[in-house]
Amino acid sequence: MTIRYDMLSPERIQNAILLMRGQKVMLSTTLAELYGVEPRALVQAVKRNIERFPPDFIFQLTRQEVTNLKSQFVISSWGGKRTMPFAFTEQGVAMLSSVLHSPRAVRVNIEIMRTFVRLRQMLASHVELARKLAELEKKYDEQFRVVFEAIQELMQPPEPPRKRIGFGVAEARGVYRVNRSRARR
């Protein structure tokens, strides 16, 4: 049986890795699809070798977690599953290779492990970038303090003009003429 490359593309595998309970995991349904086996067959193989899968390698999802997944992926049903799927951590996926012995399982496992490594490298590069930015801010903070202060002053709204207190006439002075002819009478 040949594996289609698009089935094992790094993007496809990367999109199948979820963050649950603070760990990167892959669901048993997705893994079964990648390995080309029925989900129940995958779970049976795990249960036959349960001593190889401690709780930090595999855990079963709760109803609430499945409901959250359904709402995240906007699907109305989970294909009529009666049992909750399992979530495999990176170590659990690695341990699957010792349970599933087919050539396809080996190739799929290699690709999944490569994807987990790529994700770790990407995360490490982001941490390194944040550290370098913090160093630059410290280094140039003193040099640009004057500039930052000037920018802060410009960002403050101007003070409104003060109103004058007291009586004031707002109109121009009027010219009053006296009609002298009428005034003499």
Calpha distance 103→35 (Å, rounded): 10
- Bridge-based pairing of strands 86-89 and 18-20 is unpaired
Per-residue pLDDT, 58? 92
* C-alpha 35: how far from chain center: 28
Q: Which residue has the higher pLDDT, 178 or 20?
A: 20
Question: Comparing C-alpha atoms, which of 158, 56, 147, 52 is closest to residue 99?
Answer: 52
From CA 77, how far away is CA 69, in angstroms rounded? 10
Q: How many helices (H) and strands (E) does the chain have?
A: 8, 4
Task: Give the pLDDT of residue 34.
Answer: 87
Mean pLDDT of all residues in 115-138 = 74
Residue pair 31/88 in contact (Cβ under 8 Å)? The answer is: yes
> Is the confidence at residue 1, as pLDDT, over 60?
no
**Residue type at position 29:** T
Q: What is the pLDDT of residues 17-62, one digit of tens each?
A: 888 888 889 898 888 888 888 888 888 999 999 998 999 999 998 8
- Orientation angle between helical segments 90-99 and 28-35, nearest 10 degrees: 40
**Of 154 and 102, which is predicted with more confidence?**
102
pLDDT of residue 122: 78
**Would you say residue 3 has pLDDT above 60?**
no
Order the strands of the 58-60 sheet from edge to edge.
18-20, 23-27, 86-89, 58-60
* pLDDT above 80: residue 96: yes
| pTM for the model | 0.57
- What is the DSSP code string of 54-75? -TTTEEEPPHHHHHHHHHHTT-
* Rounded CA separation 154/109 (Å): 58
Residue 11 CB-half CA count within 13 A: 2
